[in-house]
């Protein structure tokens, strides 16, 4: 029983990371119908921004060495700038393009960022000692709760509540929801498309920055493709949660985290290496039963 609760804690912590990534991807999908592969690379940019650009194996902290109160806004600003840049250079000219074209464009952006980082920082993975003090554990009875998991969960909850308050209570938030519902009509009613889309990219940048700080604290290593698996799992989360609605994205993120952790814990040892295969087979299964996701968005159903 203790073991199960322990697994559940791990699952929820992993799930909350995926939920944060899925939120960033789901937000853009809702408004632009863009499946943004490059979101994972925004996370990578956030991590690499902490260190001095050099090809050395041991990374030297630059921004990462500042006090937390300075690091967090600095990384957020850098990632938001990168996100807005991809919007201005690639996604804005493609705004009328079809959904598959946009998806391929984001694939290209992702490839450009990964190899840009490779050129600037060299190909070898790097070790980084960043906020490693957070990797302590709290014991509650027999339960071991890593500090970082508590922090992750708290950050996720705060950002989720913040985002939903923003969407419900502020004028810009209402405009964004209107744009997600029906972009054209919203524009006729005075919603400025560029502002709303820029805002969506900025918010997804902030979410990516948060994920990059949490990930790098936990793993302590950097590679130019580190964001890819996160984005992959998050896409799947967005799709099985129900595309185009944020509650679905978050639910999907937690579900993926739980499925992965539980497979890791309860698969027979000889099958454990195939964990990802089982997880993605589960994904296909969910899609077969509910093609439009667990919580389908109302506005995405095709009306004839």
Partner 1 sequence: MRQFLARHQTPVLLIVALAVIAALTAVIGADDIQVTLTEMLIRVTVVVGLYVFIGNSGIISFGHIGFMCIGAYAAAWATAEPSFKGIMLQGLPSLLQDNQFPFPVAMAGAIILPALVAALFGLAIMRLAGTAASIATFAFLIIVNSVYSNWDSVTAGVSSIIGIPTVVGPWTAFWFAAAAILAAYLFQISRFGLLLRASREDDVAARASAVHTIRMRLAAFVLSAALVGAGGGLYAQFLGILTVDPFYLGLSFITIAMLVVGGMSSLTGSVLGVVVVTAIVQVLRVFERGIPVGGTTLALPAGSQELGLGLLLAVILIFRPNGLSRGWEMAVLRSGPAKATDGAVLLTSDPNTLNAR
The residues of the shown chain that bind partner 1, judged by CB under 8 A, are 35, 89-90, 93-94, 97, 99-101, 103-105, 107-109, 111-112, 114-116, 118-119, 123, 228, 232, 235-236, 239, 243, 273-277, 280-281, 283-284, 287-288, 291-293, 302, 304
Reading phi first (left if > 0) and then psi (alpha if -120 to 50, else beta), residue 137 is in beta
Nearer to partner 1, 62 or 284 (CB): 284
Nearer to partner 1, 130 or 235 (CB): 235
CB of 304 to partner 1, least distance (A): 5
Q: Which two tokens stand for residue 95?
A: 């705004």
Please name the residue that has the structure tokens 């840049």. 85
CB of 14 to partner 1, least distance (A): 17
Q: Can you tell me whether residue 126 is helix, strand or coil?
A: strand
Nearer to partner 1, 187 or 292 (CB): 292
- H helices, E strands: number in the chain: 11, 4
Nearer to partner 1, 140 or 288 (CB): 288
Nearer to partner 1, 158 or 284 (CB): 284
Nearer to partner 1, 143 or 277 (CB): 277
Q: Can you tell me whether residue 140 is helix, strand or coil?
A: strand
Q: How many CB atoms lie within 10 A of CB 112?
A: 15
Spatial CA neighbour of 12 closest among 267, 293, 266, 261: 261
Q: How many CB atoms lie within 10 A of CB 108?
A: 12
CB of 192 to partner 1, least distance (A): 23
Q: How many CB atoms lie within 10 A of CB 194?
A: 11
Cα–Cα distance, 240 to 243 (Å, whole number): 8
CB of 199 to partner 1, least distance (A): 23
41's CB contacts (< 8 A; 6+ apart) are 109, 110, 113, 114, 227, 228, 231
Nearer to partner 1, 89 or 189 (CB): 89
CB of 280 to partner 1, least distance (A): 4
CB of 150 to partner 1, least distance (A): 31
CB of 51 to partner 1, least distance (A): 18
């Amino acid at each position: 029983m203790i073991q199960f609760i322990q697994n559940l804690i791990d699952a929820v912590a992993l799930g909350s990371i995926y939920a944060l990534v899925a939120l960033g991807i789901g937000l853009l999908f809702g408004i632009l119908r863009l499946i943004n592969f490059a979101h994972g690379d925004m996370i990578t940019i956030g991590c690499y921004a902490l260190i001095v650009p050099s090809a050395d194996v041991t990374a030297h902290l630059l921004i990462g060495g500042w006090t937390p109160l300075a690091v967090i806004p600095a990384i957020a600003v850098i990632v938001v700038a990168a996100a807005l840049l991809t919007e201005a250079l690639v996604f804005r000219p493609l705004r009328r393009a079809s959904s598959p074209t946009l998806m391929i464009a984001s694939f290209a952006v992702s490839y450009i960022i990964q190899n840009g980082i490779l050129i600037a920082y060299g190909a070898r993975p790097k070790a980084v000692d960043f906020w490693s003090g957070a990797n302590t554990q709290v014991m509650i009875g027999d339960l071991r709760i890593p500090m970082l998991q508590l922090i992750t969960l708290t950050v996720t909850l705060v950002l989720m509540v913040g985002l939903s308050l923003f969407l419900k209570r502020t004028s810009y938030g209402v405009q964004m929801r209107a744009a997600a519902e029906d972009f054209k009509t919203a524009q006729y009613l005075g919603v400025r498309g560029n502002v709303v889309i820029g805002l969506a990219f900025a918010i997804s940048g902030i979410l990516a920055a948060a994920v990059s700080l949490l990930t790098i604290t936990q793993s302590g290593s950097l590679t130019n493709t580190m964001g890819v698996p996160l984005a992959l799992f998050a896409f799947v989360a967005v799709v099985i949660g129900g595309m185009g609605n944020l509650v679905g994205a978050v639910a999907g993120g937690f579900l993926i985290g739980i499925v992965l952790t539980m497979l890791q814990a309860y698969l027979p040892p000889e099958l454990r290496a195939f964990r990802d295969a089982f997880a993605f087979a589960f994904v296909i299964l969910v899609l077969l039963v509910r093609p439009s996701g667990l919580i389908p968005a109302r506005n995405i159903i095709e009306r004839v």
